[in-house]
């Protein structure tokens, strides 16, 4: 009886941790992904959009004669802008 009582006292404080872990696993890591997206990925996307726009303007004398200015715009400006401003927060 003493061993049972001592083991109950030792392990009873672990039950709330197990319940909390189960709740955390069911929630997923969406909050962490949203924070990472907001603090790291969105500012990098803004920088990529700005640098892509500058690169697109510089590439125009070469892409217009080649006939691929629409493709250059898509890859250098539109894709980074869509990634930064169109997708939901936390979706990577």
Domain boundaries, the chain: 2-85
Alpha helices in the chain (DSSP H): 2-11, 15-27, 30-36, 42-66, 69-73, 79-85
The model's pTM is: 0.66
Q: Mind listing the pLDDT tens digit for each residue in 29-83?
A: 677 788 888 888 999 999 999 999 999 999 999 999 999 999 999 999 999 999 9
Angstrom distance (rounded) from CA 75 to CA 48: 11
Q: Mind listing the pLDDT tens digit for each residue in 77-90?
A: 999 999 999 999 88
Angstrom distance (rounded) from CA 20 to CA 31: 16
């Amino acid at each position: 009886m003493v061993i049972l009582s001592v083991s109950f006292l030792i392990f009873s404080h672990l039950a709330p941790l197990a319940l909390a872990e189960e709740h955390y696993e069911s929630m997923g890591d969406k909050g962490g992904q949203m924070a990472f997206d907001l603090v790291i990925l969105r500012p990098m996307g803004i920088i990529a959009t700005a640098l892509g726009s500058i690169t697109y303007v510089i590439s125009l004398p070469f892409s217009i004669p080649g006939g691929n200015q629409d493709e250059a715009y898509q890859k250098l400006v539109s894709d980074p802008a869509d990634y930064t401003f169109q997708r939901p927060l936390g979706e990577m």
